[in-house]
Amino acid sequence: MPVSDSSHVLVTGGTGFIGSHTVLELARQGYNVVVVDNLSNSCEEPLRRIEKLTGLKDRIPLFKVDLADKDGLREVFRQYSFSSVIHFAALKAVGESVHKPLMYYRNNIAGTLNLMDAMIEFGVKNIVFSSSATVYKADPEGRPFREDSELGCTSPYGRTKLFMESIIQDVVNAEQGWNAIMLRYFNPTGAHESGTMGEDPMQIPNNLMPYMSQVAIGKLEKLHVFGTDYNTRDGTGLRDYIHIMDLAEAHVAALRRLPANQGYEVFNIGSGSGQTVLEMIDAMSAACGKKIPYSEDPRRSGDIDTILCDPTKAAEVLGFKVSRSLEQMCADLWRWQTTNPNGYEQ
């Protein structure tokens, strides 16, 4: 169902992994998208690929603006009439945030404050926010997290997500007519099925799947499985993986929900089922047709047995469910990895 009006959706961080796949899905569904990104951890190329994949005649407008730059941001709002904003732009490396907390707070929080100020100034009152399951307090029994589960973070990165949620909620409470949807993602992976878009880590990947994918193609020597004595079916950590295109569709579902005028809402976005590290290794090995070498290493501090999503609320309210299988996640990731071994680098 294409969008009929001529207003635009602003996507901050729209060239990053989740941002770019969401822009793709928005463009595919006929939304007019404008991207703001400081390109600190990404490049313009995914936008070119989106234009090709969707047959767009015009370029997707990209403003190379850091959200710290209030005036630069206001200039974007001056040039376009936005119906809503999807806010991805943020630093996201958990380990780095432990060592550089002030950088994370400054970048993520101040950026969000500037964005919200600009939205108020220009009368844009609809926002979808890129949050994370990391805001939940670890549950020792590994029960699936519901949106009303207890909150509590172990890293500065996680706290910036929690604080940004609070800031947005306080604005919704303070101002008339605002609608905000927080999407708390579990573990996004995979790539677009075309193989032309995917995750492009600029350093050694922090997350399991891009790391594994680089091991599979021979760029990294072997995978490290941290902890084999967890209380899970095979002793390795169990997580809730979601295909990046399912996650992209969840953002569009959230965007469509905003006009329902429900004020502030929170949704988990995950599959509701979980895989262990060893199961992911098996699935990826099957997808790439070779054994992925790994070593069994000690637990990392801060890791826990199980992180699972209860996806009931998103299904009931947003009508969102994942539709892509674990096999497809791995097949699509592998297609991206093999056809673009150096990511977006030409």
Q: Which residues bind its own copies (CB under 8 A)?
A: 98-102, 105-106, 109-110, 113, 116-117, 120, 156, 159, 163, 166-167, 170-171, 173-174
First to last CA, the chain: 34
Question: Which of 188, 170, 150, 169 has its CA nearest to residue 19?
Answer: 188
Distances (CA, A) of 14 to 82, 126, 133, 143, 187: 15, 17, 20, 33, 19
CB closer to its own copies out of 137 and 291 = 137
Spatial CB neighbours of 298, under 8 Å, sequence gap ≥ 6: 226, 227
Q: What is the token pair recorded at 93?
A: 């490396």
| Nearest distance in Å: CB 162, its own copies | 9
Q: Minimum Å distance from CB 277 to its own copies?
A: 27
Alpha helices in 184-243 (DSSP H): 208-216
Tell the smallest beta-carbon distance from residue 5 to its own copies (Å): 28
Distance in Å, CB of 95 to its own copies, minimum:
11
> What number of residues does the chain have?
346
Q: Which is nearer to its own copies, 118 or 242 (CB)?
A: 118
Task: Please give the Cα distance from 33 to 261 (Å, whole number).
Answer: 22
Cα–Cα distance measured from residue 86 to residue 89, given in angstroms and rounded to the nearest whole number: 9
Tell me whether residue 170 or residue 229 sits nearer to its own copies (CB atom): 170
* Count of beta carbons in the 10 Å neighbourhood of residue 340: 18
Smallest distance, its own copies to C-beta of residue 105, A = 5
**Which of the residues 31, 104, 136, 157 is marked catalytic?**
157
The candidate with the shortest Cα–Cα distance to 42, out of 197, 191, 195, 200, is 200
- Residue 80 annotated in active site: no
Q: Which residue number, 92 or 192, has a Cβ lying nearer to its own copies?
A: 92
User: For residues 204 and 8, what is the distance between their CA atoms, to the nearest angstrom?
Assistant: 35
Whichever of 108 and 337 has its CB closer to its own copies, that residue is 108
| Rounded Cα distance, 97 and 297, in Å | 23
For its own copies, give the closer residue by CB, 53 or 68. Answer: 68
Please say whether the beta carbons of 135 and 184 come within 8 A.
yes
Element (DSSP H or E) covering residue 342: none
Task: Tell me the two tokens of residue 244.
Answer: 């990046």
CB of 71 to its own copies, least distance (A): 16
Residues involved in catalysis:
157
